[in-house]
Amino acid sequence: MIKTAIAGASGYTGLELVKLISNHPKASLEAVTSNSYQGKAFTDIFPSMRGFESLVCTPFDAVALSSKVDVVFLALPHKVSMAFAPKLIDQGIKVIDLSADFRFDDAKAYEAVYQPHTAPKLLEESVYGLCELNRDRIRSARIIGNPGCYPTSILLPLVPLLKEKLISPQGLISDSKSGVSGAGRSLSLTTHFCEVNESFGPYKVGNHRHTPEINEVLTKAAGEPVSLTFVPHLVPVTRGMVSTIYAQTCENVAEKQIREALNKWYENEPFIRILPPDKFPNMSHIKGTNCCDIGFHLEPESGRLILVSGIDNLLKGASGQAVQNMNIMFDIDEKAGLDWVQTPL
């Protein structure tokens, strides 16, 4: 049995992790930590968990955790995890970080959009936890930088096509829409019900902090610099994410080649669903799953490829992918604890 703890369990991704681990056949939840809710029962924070989880939130203590757990999920804000992760690694505990602190290869790229990195040596060691693309490196990793939700939805369709030289690395555009839970549980005016309900619009156009994360991975896949234009939008739903991505195909590339490439990369992947022709992802079809749905259309006259991907931003975009990473790290069935569909009404 894999013994786990969740640091920062009082947020939305923390709650999803508690649900997933509580129902995992080969993992147990030994501790939950929260600075905001120290001494409170987890069920006082999330009454929906009454009868399923009886843990009390404790302060973070790496030494105390070392005698209890094999791996810790850091469900902490960006710029906070880097202070916690080294203490856990020093105690021989594996780390899966859901913030951006260990997603980058280049510390300067991280620092350009966040802050000076206080654990650069550990950053050099961390593995970007996009499971389907980095599985071999994840198996032997001590620390995983769990990808962001927008990057997951954009990278999974694009990376295979860039590696296969089927699309140009120039002129890539992603028009992405996310449910409000992507902003986290903390209160803010922009996610207030009255501001979001019956509303729709872009935000952080041209300066969203996920853009450098996306560009770093795309550049590695293409073997040359890539700069994607990324425009996120907030939609008045709780969870779910759909990205519509525009790319220019290379000369004489046909729709059949696009489908063959995506099928080749993902035909044995349990959580990637390549949709049939003329079918496209829908938020209601991926909510409650760890799946990424991918559909596409090629305009033969212009050679413009329209890719559409959909994920549940709290599962494949965060906690579900984190558990998938854990399964790979501990060499158990990758689908363990994740092979279900919670069908929305």
**Active-site residue numbers?**
149
For tokens 């640091």, name the residue: 7
Give the E-state strand segments of the chain in sequence order: 2-7, 27-33, 57-58, 71-74, 94-97, 127-128, 143-145, 173-178, 201-202, 229-234, 241-248, 272-274, 292-299, 304-311
- What is the distance between the alpha carbons of residues 47 and 85, in angstroms, rounded to a whole number? 29
Token pair for 77: 């804000």
- One DSSP character per residue, 22-85 reads HT-TTEEEEEEE-STTTT-BHHHH-GGGTTT---BEE---HHHHHTT-SEEEE---TTTHHHHH
Closest to 319 measured CA to CA, from 36, 14, 7: 14
